[in-house]
Amino acid sequence: MDDMTRSRLESAKIHYAEVQEALFDPKVTQDPERLRRYAQELSEWEVLVHGYDQYLALVEELDTLKELVRDDDAESRRWAEQELSSCKTRLAESESTLLNLLTPKDPNDQKNVIMEIRAGAGGDEAALFASDLYRMYTRFAERQHWKVEVLSLSATDIGGIKEIIFSIEGVGAFSQLKYERGVHRVQRIPVTEAGGRIHTSTITVAVMPEAEEVDVTINPDDLRIETMRSGGAGGQHVNKTESAVRITHLPTGIVVSCQDEKSQFKNRDRAMKVLRARLKDLADSTKAQEVADERRSQVGTGDRSERIRTYNFPQGRVTDHRIGLTLHRLDTILDGDIEEIIASLQARDQEDRLATEAQ
């Protein structure tokens, strides 16, 4: 553990002791609101301070074992050698836990997500790969036992996706999927390519924390809500019922359309769900821009114009350009096995957040 981290932990212990002492101050005990605030603060610091105490105990234990390894007694040496490896492992785990606790938390991490996948450059090939990406995320969600719901879909005649908006419900969904926002590039020979040439296509992915009504205030007077007949297949229902809904948020110009449900009410509810997420994302992005210069190198900047990853089919590899990670198992990744990529991105983000916090 470096000196700066140890210094922060020592400061945390001092502050924790000060809060403990304050809880016995008559001025605090006689003020229910102040007492509540101090008790809440004590609870928040408790895990970190107790974790640091355990870390220090392990450091002391390790020093003792190192001395015993040099002991004249053979039996003591054998026992110390056996315990030494276990102690080092526990010490490393303890340090990792403390670093995680010191990392500033994203308040949106525990939220569900709204994801949007759009085909970019590449025509039909881009739409086909957009469909592949949607399957990748649904398979990943299945592995986490999360629920996926399609909110809006615009498909092509050959099985591709021009645009899809869907929600993923699960604890911590945003904490893992937020790193997927940006431009995804695919290099492969399209099934429609007779000459066997490799094409490059792009797909954009947006990931937004699902916003509750309390997170975003929407003035009904700021909305223009239009209904229309749903397009595409649907039989008599489509021809007779204006179930499709388009909502325009006048101050920002954001437009959301939903037509997949037969019920106008359900389509409106889905459109509002997407609108709230987009407005929250806009507000969060504006706030993030204030500190963008000092965090430009971090993996969690969320710039949707940034090319974040390449899927190269001829070589069977996937490369994440933000952290220089290359994996030669394209098939399993597209089947939803993206845990290693996400874990690597989380680790880098944690390092960058700690570095920023220490400045």
The pLDDT of 192-206, averaged and rounded, is 84
Q: Which amino acid is at 170?
A: G
Range(s) for CATH 3.30.70.1660 in the chain?
113-210+294-358
Distance, in Å, from the CA atom of 288 to the CA atom of 109, rounded to the nearest integer, reads: 15
Segment 130-161, tens digit of pLDDT: 999 999 999 999 999 999 999 889 998 888 99
> What span, in angstroms and rounded, lies between the C-alpha atoms of 237 and 82?
74
What percent of the chain is modeled with pLDDT above 90?
39
Q: Which of 23-32, 163-172, 193-202, 230-239 has the lowest mean pLDDT?
A: 230-239
> Is 174:207 a contact under the CB 8 Å cutoff?
yes
Two tokens, residue 229 = 């007949």
Give yes or no for a contact between 207 and 181, defined as CB atoms under 8 angstroms apart: yes
Is residue 299's pLDDT more than 60? Answer: no
DSSP structural state of residue 293 = G
User: What is the structure's pLDDT at 180?
Assistant: 95
Q: Which amino acid is residue 198, in one-letter code?
A: I
What does the alpha-carbon distance between residue 14 and residue 8 come to, in Å, rounded to a whole number? 10
Please provide the average confidence, as pLDDT, over all residues in the chain. Answer: 84
Of the two residues 124 and 351, the one the predictor is more confident about is: 124
Instruction: Give 180's DSSP letter.
Output: G
Q: What is the pLDDT of residue 191?
A: 73
In this prediction, residue 356 carries a pLDDT of: 67
DSSP secondary structure of 196-211 = ---EEEEEEEEEEEPP
Three-state secondary-structure class, residue 292: coil
* pLDDT at residue 144, rounded to an integer: 94
Q: Which amino acid is at 163?
A: E
Architecture in CATH for domain 113-210+294-358: 2-Layer Sandwich (3.30)
Where do you find CATH 1.20.58 in the chain?
Answer: 3-102
pLDDT tens-digit series, residues 326-355: 999 999 999 999 999 999 998 888 777 767
For residues 17-29, give the mean pLDDT. 89
- Residue 277: name the closest of 258, 292, 291 by CA: 258
pLDDT tens digit string along 49-100?
Answer: 999 999 999 999 999 999 898 888 888 888 988 899 899 999 999 998 888 7
For the chain, what percent of residues have pLDDT higher than 70? 87
Helix (H, G, I), strand (E, B) or coil at 51: helix
pLDDT value of residue 190: 83
Q: Between 356 and 208, where is the model more confident?
A: 208
From residue 210, give the alpha-carbon distance in Å to each of 84, 88, 91, 172, 250. Answer: 47, 41, 38, 12, 21
pLDDT for the residue 52:
93
Flag whether pLDDT at 302 surpasses 50: no
Q: Write out the residue limits of the CATH 3.30.160.20 domain(s) in the chain.
A: 220-287
CATH class of 3-102: mainly alpha
Domain formed by 220-287, architecture: 2-Layer Sandwich (3.30)
Tokens of 328: 């030669």
209 contacts 174 by C-beta, under 8 angstroms: yes
Amino acid at 220: P
